[in-house]
Amino acid sequence: EAQVTQNPRYLITVTGKKLTVTCSQNMNHEYMSWYRQDPGLGLRQIYYSMNVEVTDKGDVPEGYKVSRKEKRNFPLILESPSPNQTSLYFCASSEGGDEVHTEAFFGQGTRLTVV
């Protein structure tokens, strides 16, 4: 089954404690991205990756890091989380490349609370 898997689904942490949210896809997709969803703001792109070792900033990258060492994995790293990073996070993947844009597949989401 084609899927994007995020872990954990729920996370409560304290300010300043480094955390990583994992994302893995099994569709051999080139393009992966992270979004955060906040009420009234929709989904905003944090970072994206066009392929292995190729990452770039999205619209709201401050306070986040990513890496793409393998095609299937695209972890999101918060080095020093702050309360304003409390949000619902989604990982997504799509075929990417020079092909016509196709469907983006989304993970189930990670609800992060920073206290």
Partner 1 sequence: AQSVTQLGSHVSVSEGALVLLRCNYSSSVPPYLFWYVQYPNQGLQLLLKYTTGATLVKGINGFEAEFKKSETSFHLTKPSAHMSDAAEYFCAVTGYFGNEKLTFGTGTRLTIIP
Residues at the contact surface with partner 1, assessed by CB under 8 A: 4, 30-31, 33, 35, 40-45, 48, 50, 58, 90, 92, 94-104, 106-109
CA distances from 19 to 3, 34, 90 (A): 23, 15, 15
- CB of 58: closest distance to partner 1 in angstroms? 7
- State which residue, 5 or 73, has the beta carbon closest to partner 1: 5
Q: Among 29, 18, 104, which Cα is nearest to 65's?
A: 18
Tokens standing for residue 100: 């016509």
Contact criterion met (CB below 8 Å) for 32 and 48: yes
- State which residue, 75 or 90, has the beta carbon closest to partner 1: 90
Q: Are strands 87-94 and 31-38 parallel, antiparallel or unpaired?
A: antiparallel
- State which residue, 79 or 103, has the beta carbon closest to partner 1: 103
Does residue 61 have a cis peptide bond before it, meaning omega lies within 30 degrees of 0?
no
- CB of 7: closest distance to partner 1 in angstroms? 13
- CB of 56: closest distance to partner 1 in angstroms? 10
- State which residue, 30 or 82, has the beta carbon closest to partner 1: 30
- CB of 104: closest distance to partner 1 in angstroms? 6
